[in-house]
Amino acid sequence: MTGRAQQTLRIIGGEWRGRKFQFPSAEHLRPTPDRVRETLFNWLMPIIEGARCLDLFCGSGALGLEALSRGASEVMFVDKNKQVIDTLKRTCELVKTDKARFFCGDANRFLDQTATAFDVIFLDPPYDLDLIEPIAKQLVKDRWLSPSAYIYIEHDGRFDVDLLPPTWQAHREKVAGQVYYSLYIRQD
């Protein structure tokens, strides 16, 4: 990855509204578009402040950074790309937040640890790796979700949502170009 250009993302709302942050170019890395993030965080507005968030496959960090900007109490950023994690650490130092945690490694390896329940989970893996279903099952099995957790899922339209755990109820869904995105609520 050395020598690849940096890209920029803009925070849509909250404390860091309008700030731009850089992230490395990397294979499979495609930040959630501004329009999609704006809609998602409008959906999450009633619960994001004070929420504990897990940003699996964080990539650019757009979702986790947006959550922190809007008052999340903690965001755990998980990505296997060291350059991505190092860049996010520098970004969080730049804005002087102590609410960010980092795990550099595979999402499955992260989920093999002792579970800590999160209120909001951002699940946006590389589209072509078919990871949503197995990760969703592991999140439920290992108790990574708070009792009324919100789960955001982004995919390219090929994912069969009937494969999601039956306790996840669709709350909102939209399509923006090639991006299909949904917000689910855990209901036991």
Residue 164 per-residue DSSP state: S
Report pLDDT digits (tens) over 28-44. Answer: 667 788 899 999 999 99
Residue 118's CATH number: 3.40.50.150
Beta strands in 1-42 (DSSP E): 6-10, 20-24
Q: In whole angstroms, what is the distance from residue 80 CA to residue 78 CA?
A: 7
Indicate whether 173 belongs to any domain.
yes
Indicate whether 64 belongs to any domain.
yes
For residue 178, what are the domain limits? 6-186
Give me the pLDDT at residue 14, please.
95
Q: For residue 97, is pLDDT > 50?
A: yes
Backbone dihedral angles phi then psi of residue 88, each to the nearest 5 degrees: -65, -40
Indicate whether 147 belongs to any domain.
yes
Report pLDDT digits (tens) over 153-188. Answer: 999 999 999 999 999 999 999 999 989 999 999 997
Is beta strand 118-123 parallel, antiparallel or unpaired with respect to 179-186?
unpaired
Task: Give the amino acid at 114.
Answer: T
Indicate whether 152 belongs to any domain.
yes
- In the block, residue with structure tokens 């709350």: 171
Indicate whether 1 belongs to any domain.
no
Indicate whether 18 belongs to any domain.
yes
Give me the pLDDT at residue 33, please.
85
Look at 23-32, 71-80, 107-116 and tell me which has the smallest mean pLDDT.
Answer: 23-32
Q: Model-level pTM?
A: 0.93
